[in-house]
Structure 1
Amino acid sequence: MKGFIVWACMSILTLISIKGWAQQDSALHIIHQVEGDKVFLRWAPGSPGSWLQMNENGVEIAAIQINPSSDTGGWPDFELIEARHLPWTADRFRAESVVDTVDEYTSVLGQLLHSAYGSVRMGQDVPAALTQSDELMTRYSMAMLAADLSREAAISAGMRVEYPIDTAVRVLFRLILLGDGENTVNDTSYVLVDPKISADEPPVPLLDLASEGDHTITLSWDRIYHQSHFSAFYLERSGDGGVHFQKITSRPYLSSPAEENEEIDYIYIDSVQENYHRFVYRLIGITPFAQLSAPSPGVTAMARDLSPPPRPLLTPLTFTDEGPLLVWSLNPVPTDFGGFQIEKSSAPDRGYLIVDTIYSSSRNQYIDRTYDPVFRHYRITAFDTSGNQASSLSQYVFTVDSIPPSAPAWSSGTIDSNGITTLHWHPGSEEDLKGYKLYYAYQPDHVFTVITDVPYFDTIIRFPMDLKNLSEDVYFKLVALDQSYNHSQFSEILHVKKPDRIPPDAPIFKDYDVGENEITLHWALSHSKDVSRHLLYRRDEASKEFAVVLEFSNMEFTSLVDNNLKAGTAYEYVIRAVDDDGNYSQDPDTLVLKTLSGRKLIQLVPWQVEQTDLGISISWSKAPSEHYLYRVYRQVGDFTLRRIATTTSAHFLDNPDLLEAGNYTYRYLVIDEDGRLSEFSQPIQITVVKE
């Protein structure tokens, strides 16, 4: 868009209403560049509002020389250079365009500065004001960009000047953004110019490696590094190995604000007509002074064919005498067709192996004479000359297989204290082995329940078991399956013992006899099946801790004579059971007994035994103390003498209904209040006659 366009009558002075929506809080931003005995000042307003203010009121430019050798006795006054530096007028833009001395960016600036704002016609309500604000922001952004890209545009926008300077003296420039007092602010900015510090050449930009696509080449370069030096870029391309370069686009490359917020790199995608043609790319930066950098080092890249061929159509497989027969079709056949790959696998979605490669597009059948029953999944993969591939859907080959695999063999099995069960078995030798199924039961003769519903291929498995039941043992069996789902015989049963957390039943004391220096104990053993031993503890009345008197694992050991005891001393006994997992019985039975005091044995009391109509009557003369006990024993024929009663009464009747006809022998002994025993009485024999 070269040439001057006649603008409408509405000038920038009609934008009083838009000023109220623009920001007024940004100062001028100034940079400078020294070239020999000239300094170039370049500035830009920081907001759309300050841009409008600058366009209408201009900036004041003043300077002072800072000469360390002079002694003026104080700070010198600023010397006014321009009282009101303004952008070109509309007439100036027209005149310059008539003689064709302005570039396209200068023409754009003329329209941005002096053309009418279309949004002003919308009125003064809120939606109209928002639209006017957006239009002002757009014009402001375009004006700043045009001034960056063109020296003439920056001059015409009133944002660039050049002055001669004394190369021996530093100069401090002052720019004041002028205002009319209404909705404006006067901002002041300074820049110190040292003529001894000349402008360096712009840094050389750097292109990253290019990404090669299908008819596209993606170029990228670092945003953080480049945006601190350049406002825009030119991208150039060479198709003859870097001898001649041409700009890819006629206008400089810019990125949108959205891209700047999201991308860490500048990105440009170059579309090319031909794949596999090598291009050399280079980058040229444009500084805010509209100065071009030296080209970057070249980056070579070419577009590549990434489009795969059509997917082949593989029909269901049939099994012949020679092996599986594969039949397929490919429609259409691409012009860059490369060939077909015959592939097979043990799974439908992974692990495919190449069986053979066919390079003819007209061939569409193949027999796999290397058939292995492990690999029953087949597919056809078409590829082109660029290596792009497309695979058919897989097909499964069905064969008649009635031979089951051999029964698995166990290696080991454990269950830890948390119930984690680990089982390991030896792998089967069959090539078509598909996996294993695992079963368990709590008794070897019970029905086994499956653990793995689907074939499990590994030879080691871990899973949790419930420890909160009374079964201490778990039994496992395995079956093996092949690819045709033939089941093997069950393996041998593997017996695994669970960690036992349940204590055994407690043993209890049944009877006792107390002597002067000994105590005879009788007990009933624990009924738990997993008891491995019993422990009998004792402590006397002077001790705090129990000591083990007896430890035994003989399940027929039910009594003990504890001798060498002190007469007249109390002893406490405890008996506990321990199972094969080390669990002790809870709430142990406790028995407190006292040995006899050592006094003389008490004398027997005269007694008599006779048969009456009511039974066998046993009576004694009065005992020496009312606390004495009579312990009565009876012997039937030649059987063992057994205790039948203990009583404090002077008379005892043996129930005749319990007696059979025959000879009965009776004896008794006396127990005093200290637990001392008399000797056994002489036996008295009675013959019972039944009518």
Structure 2
Amino acid sequence: MKKLSKYVLLVFLCIFTINAQDKIEPEIKVTARNYGDSVVVRWAPNTPTLWLLCNKYGYKIERVFYDVIGTEDDEKTVERTVPVRDAIFKPLTKEQMIERYKDEKHPQGMVATEFLYGEIDLRGDEVGPIADLKAKEDEQNMRFAYTLLAADLDPDVADAIGLRYSFKIRDMKDIQDSVITLRITPLVDTSIMAVSPVTYHIDISFINKLYLKPSRLYTESGDGHIKLNWLRDNYFTAYYIERSTDSINFTPLNTKPYFYSDEKEEASDNADYDYDMDSNSVKTDLPETDLADSTQIIHYPKATRPRFTESYISYIDTVPNGKKYYYRVYATDAFNDRSDYSEIVSGVAEKEIALDPPSDFKAIKIGPNKVKLTWKEPEHKDKLQGYFISHQHTFAQEHIDFLTEELLPPGTKEFIHDNVKEGLYNIYFIYAVDFSGKYFPSKVATLYLNDTIAPLPPKNVSAVVDSSGLCAITWDHNEEDDIEGYKVYYSMNLDHMFNQLTDVPTEMNMYLDRVDPSLLNKEIYYKVVAVDRAGNHSDYSEVAVGKIPDFHAPVKPLVESYFVGNDEVKFTFIVDNGADIKKHYFLKRKENAKWDTVRTITSAEVENFRINLVDTATSEAGIYEYCMQSEDASGLFSSPSQVVTVKLNERNNTELFIKLEAKYNSKDKKVNLKWKKPNFSKDFHYVIYKSTNNDGWNMYESVDKETLEYNDSQINESTNYKYKIVPYRMGAKIGNGEEVTISIP
């Protein structure tokens, strides 16, 4: 059923060059034929669903006129439409169809009535909702296919189901430029299915008769039958075959339309390939007849290499052996117009003596990239037309190469195959071909040519390690066509030996490796080697470097010592100060409250893995907790150090502030800084901060509490400098300083 449905669609729709590989959008397909005095217009929906909707709502056909209005300087073309008839085009009702075709003069009318309105049940033995949906789909396709086919075979049926319109040219008024324009509009609800009207132009000056006819006929002889074959042409709807014993007087072999070959037979005939018939027909001497000079009789095709193209229709005629018969075929199209006859072909049924295949078929290496093929010829060489040889590298290979353009003639017993690639299996068959085009394959001959050429190293190798430790190694596929796969190697040290990761070569150009999170390495190194089918290994690829993320948090800081005074706490912390340590955080909170960062210490400020800090009393006395935490460059934090709990009193003294004077001595090219000692009895020191051209403050120099003057000789011309003096105690800032700017000319 599916086969017929597909066939019928092709029959009508091939006129409109549908590409079956594309997604079919719902539309109306239109064609017309001008007979000189009259025109027939045919149309059809291109999907079963659209067909059902159009059966319900119908079609409207209008003539379209293009009127020119306005002045000569301002002409406009206005479209005007006039219905060709008041009634819409749609199928007759069930009762009307039964009444119209009750006399059985139109068999296709009865077929159309049955498939339009009859009951069809295709569920079979399957049950369930899916089976019901599938049966419904098959039913819809069947109704669509057979109804359209009936319309193609009988114009009266096409009229009855609303898919045909005809008119006399003499009855058409106001013909513009020898063109009649029609618009066919499907009256379906476009919210249900989007489908557009079709505007079709008919040139009444051009008479388009049916010039095509069935072509490429040939016969095949069998025991008690002759098989007639011709090229499938989807333009035609049906075929009619005629036979003759004298090539002059023919009688029909089929009274009913012939559509296609028996499904099993056609499937077996066309499953693999057909023959190229274009330039390989054999013309034979004709007997003395009254045939026209243009008539030719083709006995057998001259076989060539099989090819995976074209489709033929076959008809098997049962006849006695030994008698010559002649055949011709004509066809009808979607207008039920009849084509001219095909060329005449002949055939004789005879008991077939099968041609044996070539024997003792061998493949022998006779030199670099050169193979000699030898065989023994079959018996019944009078039936042998020649040989062809196939070559492939695997039995699963889709594309099969043939080593000769033409058949090797009978008497040939060897063939030299040049330019054979090394490192590949070579699989050969030789086929003996008889004069009917049938071929008989030998047993297989195989040969492997050793490959000694190593492939090139893989290119563009890269390695990327993610945060989970998964490393993706990728590379470009080699261009050689005999690559078996690739081997991947790794090393944790660039100077050490690389170890193989892959047990066997991988066909993919990617490999996933898992990096051990416990490793302290910052990088991992990979190389890739290409391996061909002969086992040849390429050199190593260039090294790919995988950057390993930091999986290890910094070491937990230790509290080496602390001292609690009346209004201050002194700490010494031991910290991890490796190369990837970014910062250390001195944290403080009131008991069980949220932690605050008292100070951030960079790794540059750490001396001998120790940090000395002082925290003075806050304005609010109470119990406070302190700890230290470290962070590395990957954003990983250490565990907090031991929490130190202390009780602090209120601090009575106010924060220190250092006022500063700065002068530039152009003679000495120095900046002189002076300040006064604050009223503070504890031990402390000063830190001189300096900024150059507003690039940020930098600790420039440290002096003791007795020093109240400093000369800066590191001065450049045309530069602005800023200074401030900040008091520190036990590594902690205990005040701030006045900022002073000096501009050097």
- TM normalised by structure 1 equals 0.40
When normalised by structure 2's length, the TM-score is 0.38
Higher gyration radius (CA): 1
